[in-house]
């Protein structure tokens, strides 16, 4: 608690320490200028933009006390989907623009921060340091970035100082607490033992091994089980995720300037606990920007950014696969103490073997993961005004990311138990480096009714790096995680065994050379024409395919400037836009057109007491013919503004076609697993609406609304050689529990679920009953789910029933069908801001409609599979019953039907996990993402101590979600493959965040 108390004190007392640093200078004069947006490599007046561009200014983010810039823009930009895959601290956030274009490749946009390309930029920027974010959505705007713009471009400008400005110091800090929003309902202790009674006693043989095992563990008579009604329940989800997770965030910025210079210095520190025990996130960042006018013609600037983060905790699943599902332990572990000679809080090896479960608290203490990231960005620019119309600009940048991950598996983990119960450590290290140099010439000239803007540029980018993995076994059982991380030599192999050698790899250098140009022409301030072309040369492809060419053109007509509308007072702006462009994609590993040997221990051999690394050809087959993926985008839009800005908005419609998709296809050649090929076509088309308005604008009261809604329809037009002969589809595994649970099919969308249709359960009427043998036999003509869902056991009343779709009288793979798509029909957000005197309030909602979610947790928790003594989903309490209220097995059809007259659920299947429609749910939701109430002291109230602005605020993030989805969160998506979105499996639960903060400017 000391850390929390000290941080709270620092949060509020810093306000009174900073004035010592403040410098009293003359107030600057402000002039109102036209709003400009960053498009391509220079700024353009918003009124002259011809492309599809969405933007948000830093001012709009000031009321969002979040630690990720991606979270701050969620739902604010039309056509831009921002989705947190799960709720863990420092978790990944996916941004998709207009549906994405790739099938097996990344759909992440290109991020440009202050002119320099960065990966995952939104997760390493504090929202408080952002000046503006522009999102280029159509190829007529993105093609200027050529090979990197196919999935959209996000241009981020961070705040800078201003010349001739007084020095200002701003501190914004907040503290808060997170709480889990909801948990999954499971069987209570009494329901649990009744279910186990059925599993153990199903054979109905008194004195057999199962009967004895149940009596020993739970009780010898049915009536004795009633004691579990009063047994204290262990809510493992609450114990593991019920942590009050405190957050402390500090933002400090100093800005100012002189006659010739301007500077900005920002600091950000985040200390955030996770709602899951032993999890948390820490991040510290520093950014310094400096601009200096060497002369009237020559200017230069530098920007240095450094950030480091530490994410603690293994989370709920390292890969989302069944074998690493830690969430399952908190859901399916027995819900009470007892049932074994080993105390519930101690490790029970027999229970672990029989149930595939470990006490979730004990397991959490035995798994340690420290994930550290260090980010460095250095860039500098030089501006030289050759003439008043011609400017040369050169930007040089260096970006480096170092990642280190330390993982420890203690004695109770499955990894250690397979290693003589001895702990294991894995140390992963990687570094990536990127060097960028961009040089541009910009010519701007006005003559009469004409305005001409010409840009010529050249750019080079190189990315490289290396990685290593060291997997060390056989540590002493008593060793602590930090001791193991610091001293891997403490691991001693048993006699006759050796440690694995470290595996190292080099990231193949990725080099790009580019030449580009753009012309913008405006006539009579009414008609605007923009054209651009870019040539990219990439070493990803073999000579002859290295160069890609990406032209684009767009037109705009300022209808408002025409004579017939010039004098219409209520209309302030009406602009029509059309655009066409080609952009590319080369996001595959370099040199895949040539054979290279990989050197690592996996290909090695034992020599003496160590493994000597060997060399082997990659499992990815070479393809000298692979070439650029190309995206063609057509866009039409309207911008409007009425009543002197009281109402404004835009409408855009687009069609985006991507061909020659870079697909990692499976190949039937010995020794090779796959090959990159240009195979397939996709199409995205949709509409985007943005509208805003000032409903009330009085001196003491204001009410403003901003809203956007978007729709996108994705269609696979061709899969090329990726399918078998005569087929127009192939099946995809999400990697969870359902086998091939997705389908990529011509005519359908990416992210289409594929499985069986649930038809309820088998009823008495589906069987013939032999009274003498007491055996139920499925009637002729009733399809059997035995082979698919029941582990090949004979079908019995109450078993899961699947629909025979092809009418052949049996349930086979042929009875699967498309079960819906993870892609929404439409999505968006709306923000309302209120102002009353010195009070302010904002409510921000985001929503999604029509998307389906694959609730894999629900499938797993209603399937018995191989193990008994596992708790189940609460729905299993309503299952088919075989035993009456006296614990006697019922077989008579009439009695059995009466016993189950009021039950609806089937008996949990004992076969493999499969995807059936029971697990596909409507993921539509309306989320109140943020509500903030603030109060600003009247200006001048604290001027005597140098305080210019003082604001207090309280916020709740993720206040509520209106949804019919039964899982933790309808936005959960634990897969990183574009073909398998919308899978909720072992996701870290989302939380609600209560915040109070202060914003002070000196």
pLDDT at residue 957 greater than cutoff 70: yes
Report pLDDT for 483: 94
Average pLDDT over residues 322-334: 85
CA distances from 448 to 44, 258, 851 (A): 20, 36, 53
Average pLDDT over residues 190-208: 90
* H or E element at residue 208: none
Helices H / strands E in the chain, number of each: 15, 47
pLDDT at residue 588 greater than cutoff 60: yes
Residue bearing the bigger pLDDT, 855 or 596: 855
Report pLDDT for 517: 94
Structure tokens at 35: 């709003």
> How confident is the model over 670-688, as pLDDT tens digits?
767 777 888 889 999 999 9
Taking the C-alpha atoms of residue 281 and residue 87, their distance in angstroms, rounded to an integer, is 12
Quickly state the pLDDT bin for 849 (edges 50, 70, 90): very high
Report pLDDT for 595: 63
Report pLDDT for 533: 94
CA distances from 907 to 505, 777, 792, 847 (A): 49, 17, 15, 36
pLDDT at residue 596 greater than cutoff 70: no
Pick the closest to residue 679 from 659, 697, 695, 649 (CA basis). 659
Structure tokens at 33: 């200028």
> How confident is the model over 164-197, as pLDDT tens digits?
889 999 999 999 999 998 899 999 999 999 999 9
Give the predicted TM-score (pTM) of the model. Answer: 0.90
pLDDT at residue 699 greater than cutoff 70: yes
Measure CA of the first residue to CA of the last residue in the chain; give whole Å. Answer: 31
Determine the 3-state secondary structure of 201 from DSSP: helix
pLDDT at residue 265 greater than cutoff 70: yes
Quickly state the pLDDT bin for 498 (edges 50, 70, 90): confident
Number of neighbours of residue 610 by Cβ within 10 angstroms: 13
> How confident is the model over 3-20, as pLDDT tens digits?
444 443 333 333 333 333
Residues 920, 921, 923, 928: is their CA dihedral positive or negative? negative
Share above pLDDT 70 across residues of the chain, in percent, rounded to a whole number: 93
Report pLDDT for 861: 95
**Contacts of residue 371, Cβ cutoff 8 Å, sequence gap at least 6:** 90, 310, 311, 312, 403, 404, 405
Quickly state the pLDDT bin for 432 (edges 50, 70, 90): very high
Taking the C-alpha atoms of residue 53 and residue 144, their distance in angstroms, rounded to an integer, is 14
Number of neighbours of residue 318 by Cβ within 10 angstroms: 15
Report pLDDT for 319: 57
pLDDT at residue 233 greater than cutoff 60: yes
Structure tokens at 665: 């296809």
Report pLDDT for 598: 60
Report pLDDT for 104: 74
Report pLDDT for 597: 58
Average pLDDT over residues 360-369: 93
Quickly state the pLDDT bin for 314 (edges 50, 70, 90): confident
For the ranges 4-8, 376-380, 844-848, the lowest mean pLDDT is seen at: 4-8
Report pLDDT for 320: 55
pLDDT at residue 886 greater than cutoff 50: yes
> How confident is the model over 45-86, as pLDDT tens digits?
888 888 888 888 877 777 677 777 787 888 888 989 888 778
Taking the C-alpha atoms of residue 111 and residue 108, their distance in angstroms, rounded to an integer, is 9
Residue bearing the bigger pLDDT, 456 or 593: 456
Report pLDDT for 34: 56
pLDDT at residue 426 greater than cutoff 70: yes
Pairing outcome for strands 629-642 and 571-585:
antiparallel
Quickly state the pLDDT bin for 605 (edges 50, 70, 90): low
> How confident is the model over 85-110, as pLDDT tens digits?
788 887 778 888 998 888 877 788 88
Structure tokens at 227: 């004691």
pLDDT at residue 22 greater than cutoff 60: no
Mean pLDDT for the chain overall? 87
Structure tokens at 936: 């600003």
pLDDT at residue 777 greater than cutoff 60: yes
> How confident is the model over 513-556, as pLDDT tens digits?
999 999 999 999 999 999 999 999 998 888 888 999 999 999 99
Average pLDDT over residues 967-995: 90
Contact (Cβ atoms closer than 8 angstroms) between residue 741 and residue 753: yes
Quickly state the pLDDT bin for 736 (edges 50, 70, 90): confident
Average pLDDT over residues 290-307: 94
Average pLDDT over residues 618-633: 83
Average pLDDT over residues 604-630: 69
pLDDT at residue 578 greater than cutoff 50: yes
pLDDT at residue 615 greater than cutoff 70: no
Pairing outcome for strands 53-57 and 571-585:
unpaired
**Contacts of residue 102, Cβ cutoff 8 Å, sequence gap at least 6:** 150, 151, 585, 587, 629, 658, 661, 662, 682, 978
Residue bearing the bigger pLDDT, 628 or 668: 628
> How confident is the model over 118-175, as pLDDT tens digits?
877 877 788 888 888 888 888 888 888 876 778 888 888 888 888 888 999 999 999 9
């Amino acid at each position: 608690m000391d850390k929390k108390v000290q941080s709270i004190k620092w949060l509020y007392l810093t306000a009174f320490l900073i004035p010592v640093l403040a410098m009293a200078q003359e107030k600057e004069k402000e002039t109102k200028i036209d709003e400009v947006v960053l498009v391509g490599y220079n700024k353009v007046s918003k009124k002259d933009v011809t492309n599809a561009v969405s933007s948000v200014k830093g001012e709009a983010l000031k009321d969002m006390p979040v630690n990720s810039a991606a979270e701050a823009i969620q739902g604010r930009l039309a056509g831009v989907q921002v989705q947190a895959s799960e709720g863990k601290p420092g978790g990944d956030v996916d941004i998709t623009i207009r549906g994405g274009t790739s099938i097996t490749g990344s759909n992440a946009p290109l991020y440009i921060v202050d002119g320099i390309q960065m990966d995952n930029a939104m997760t390493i920027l504090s929202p408080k340091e952002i000046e503006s974010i522009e999102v280029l959505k159509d190829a007529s705007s993105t093609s200027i970035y050529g090979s990197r713009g196919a999935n959209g471009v996000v241009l981020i400008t961070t705040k800078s100082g201003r010349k001739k400005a007084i020095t200002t110091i701003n501190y914004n800090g907040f503290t808060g607490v997170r709480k889990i929003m909801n948990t999954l309902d499971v069987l209570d202790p009494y329901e649990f033992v009744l279910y186990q009674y059925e599993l153990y006693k199903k054979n109905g043989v008194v004195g057999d091994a199962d009967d004895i095992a149940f009596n020993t563990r739970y009780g010898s008579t049915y009536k004795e089980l009633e004691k579990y009604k009063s047994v204290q329940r262990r809510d493992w989800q609450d114990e593991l995720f019920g942590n009050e997770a405190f957050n402390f965030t500090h933002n400090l910025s100093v800005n100012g300037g002189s006659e010739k210079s301007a500077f900005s210095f920002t600091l950000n520190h985040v200390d955030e606990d996770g709602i899951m025990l032993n999890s948390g996130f820490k991040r510290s960042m520093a950014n310094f920007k400096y601009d200096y006018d060497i002369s009237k013609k020559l200017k230069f600037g530098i920007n240095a950014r450094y950030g480091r983060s530490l994410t603690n905790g293994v989370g709920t699943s390292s890969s989302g696969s069944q074998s690493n599902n830690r969430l399952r332990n908190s859901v399916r572990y027995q819900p009470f103490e007892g049932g074994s000679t080993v105390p519930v809080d101690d490790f029970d090896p027999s229970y672990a073997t029989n149930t595939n479960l470990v006490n979730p608290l004990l397991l959490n203490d035995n798994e340690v993961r420290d994930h550290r990231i260090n980010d460095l960005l250095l860039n500098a620019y030089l501006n030289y005004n050759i003439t008043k119309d011609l400017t040369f600009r050169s930007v040089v940048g260096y970006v480096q990311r170092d990642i280190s991950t330390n993982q420890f598996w203690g004695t109770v983990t499955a990894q250690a138990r397979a290693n003589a119960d001895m702990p294991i450590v894995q140390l992963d290290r990687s570094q990536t480096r990127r060097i960028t140099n961009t040089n541009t010439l910009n010519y701007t000239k006005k003559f009469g009714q004409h305005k001409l803007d010409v840009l010529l540029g050249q750019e080079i980018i190189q990315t490289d790096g290396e990685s290593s993995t060291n997997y060390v076994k056989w540590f002493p059982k008593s060793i602590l995680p930090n001791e193991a991380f610091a001293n891997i030599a403490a691991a001693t192999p048993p006699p006759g065994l050796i440690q694995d050698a470290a595996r190292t790899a080099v990231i193949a250098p990725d080099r790009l050379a580019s030449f580009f140009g753009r012309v913008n022409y405006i006539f009579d301030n009414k008609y605007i024409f923009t054209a651009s072309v870019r040539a990219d040369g990439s070493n990803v492809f073999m000579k002859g395919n290295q160069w890609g060419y990406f032209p684009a053109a767009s037109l705009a007509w300022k209808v408002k400037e025409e004579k017939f509308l010039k004098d219409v007072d209520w209309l302030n702006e009406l602009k029509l836009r059309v655009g066409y462009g080609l952009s590319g994609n080369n996001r595959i590993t370099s040199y895949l057109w040539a054979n290279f040997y990989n050197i690592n221990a996996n290909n090695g051999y034992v020599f003496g007491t160590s493994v000597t690394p060997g060399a082997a050809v990659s499992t990815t087959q070479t393809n000298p013919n692979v070439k650029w993926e190309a995206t063609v985008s057509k866009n039409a839009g309207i911008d409007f503004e009425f009543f002197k800005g009281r109402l404004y908005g835009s409408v855009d419609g687009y069609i985006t076609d991507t061909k020659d998709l870079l697909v990692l296809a499976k190949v039937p050649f010995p020794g090779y697993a796959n090959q990159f090929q240009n195979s397939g076509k996709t199409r995205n088309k949709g509409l985007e609406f943005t509208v805003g308005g000032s409903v009330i604008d009085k001196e003491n009261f204001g009410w403003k609304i901003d809203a956007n809604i978007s729709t996108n329809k994705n269609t696979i037009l061709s899969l090329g050689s990726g399918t078998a002969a005569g087929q127009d589809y192939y099946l995809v595994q999400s990697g969870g529990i359902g086998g091939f649970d997705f389908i990529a099919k011509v005519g359908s969308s990416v992210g289409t679920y594929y499985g069986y249709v649930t038809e309820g359960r088998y009823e008495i009427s589906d069987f013939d009953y032999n009274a003498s043998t007491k055996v139920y036999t499925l009637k002729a003509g009733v399809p059997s789910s035995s082979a698919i869902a029941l582990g090949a056991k004979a079908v019995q009343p109450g078993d899961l029933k699947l629909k025979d779709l092809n009418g052949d009288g049996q349930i086979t793979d042929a009875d699967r069908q498309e079960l819906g798509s993870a892609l929404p029909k439409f999505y968006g957000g709306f923000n309302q801001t209120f102002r009353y005197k010195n009070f302010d309030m904002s409510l921000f909602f985001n929503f999604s409609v029509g998307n389906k979610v694959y609730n894999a947790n629900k499938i797993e928790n209603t399937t018995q599979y191989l193990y008994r003594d596992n708790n189940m989903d609460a729905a299993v309490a309503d299952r088919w019953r075989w035993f009456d209220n006296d614990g006697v097995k019922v077989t008579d059809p009439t009695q059995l039907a009466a016993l189950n007259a009021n039950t609806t659920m089937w008996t949990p299947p004992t076969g493999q996990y499969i995807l059936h429609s029971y697990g596909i749910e409507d993921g539509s939701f309306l989320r109140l993402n943020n509500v903030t109430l603030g109060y600003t002291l009247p200006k001048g109230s604290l001027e005597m101590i140098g305080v210019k602005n003082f604001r207090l605020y309280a916020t709740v993030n993720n206040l509520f979600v209106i949804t019919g989805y039964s899982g933790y969160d309808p936005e959960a998506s634990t897969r990183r493959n574009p073909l398998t979105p919308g899978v909720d499996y072992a996701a870290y639960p989302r939380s609600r965040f209560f915040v109070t903060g202060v914003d002070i400017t000196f």
